[in-house]
Amino acid sequence: MKIDHEYLKGLLSAFESSDDVYTDITKLQEAGFDWQTPEFLFHMRLLADRGLIARTDGDYGFGFFEGIGGDGSWSVLPLRLTANGHDFLEALRNKEVWNTVKTGFKDASIGTLVEVSKQLLNGYLQKKIDSILDS
């Protein structure tokens, strides 16, 4: 399965939009992200792999437990967007970063997306700082 940039950004936004200090799969379901789909599981695994989301108790995982036959079951666990997750979302919200990521890195891995978006945002911010200092 390939990374869906829009889905990924939306899922990160749903984490951030929680009215509480945490979210869970039922709240994400209410935000339009069906936890029973392969797309949801795929993207949640990517976010967890990169430390962009985490359980509030600090343990590894996000509530999906895979059985021997490949089937799995879900537990509703409190989850949060980590500082790295907030940073990644901030970068994706920048219009220039988002357009570049969507067009120039459409087949990139999650690691590349995180790194590139961070570098692009830093470059954009440096230009902004330079223009302020030059004024």
CA terminus-to-terminus distance, the chain:
48
If asked whether residues 71 and 93 sit together in one domain, one would say no
pLDDT of residue 58: 93
If asked whether residues 77 and 93 sit together in one domain, one would say no
**pLDDT (tens digit, 0 to 9) for every residue of the chain, 135 residues total?**
999 999 999 999 999 999 999 999 999 999 999 999 999 999 999 999 999 999 999 999 999 999 887 789 999 999 999 999 999 999 999 999 999 999 999 899 999 999 999 999 999 999 989 888 887
pLDDT of residue 24: 97
Token couple for 18: 């929680």
pLDDT of residue 67: 85
If asked whether residues 78 and 14 sit together in one domain, one would say yes
What domain range includes position 120?
Answer: 88-134
pLDDT of residue 77: 97
State the total domains in the chain.
2
Question: Using CA atoms, how far apart are residues 103 and 123, in angstroms rounded to an integer?
Answer: 18
Distance of alpha carbon 23 from its chain centroid, rounded? 13
If asked whether residues 12 and 75 sit together in one domain, one would say yes
If asked whether residues 11 and 76 sit together in one domain, one would say yes
Going by their DSSP bridges, the two strands 53-55 and 64-66 should be labelled as unpaired
Q: Are 12 and 90 in contact (CB under 8 A)?
A: no
Sorted by sequence, the CB contacts under 8 Å of residue 12 that are 6+ apart come out as 47, 52, 81, 85, 88, 89, 92
| Domain boundary, last residue among 46, 62, 82 | 82
3-state DSSP assignment of residue 29 = helix
If asked whether residues 68 and 117 sit together in one domain, one would say no
pLDDT of residue 110: 95
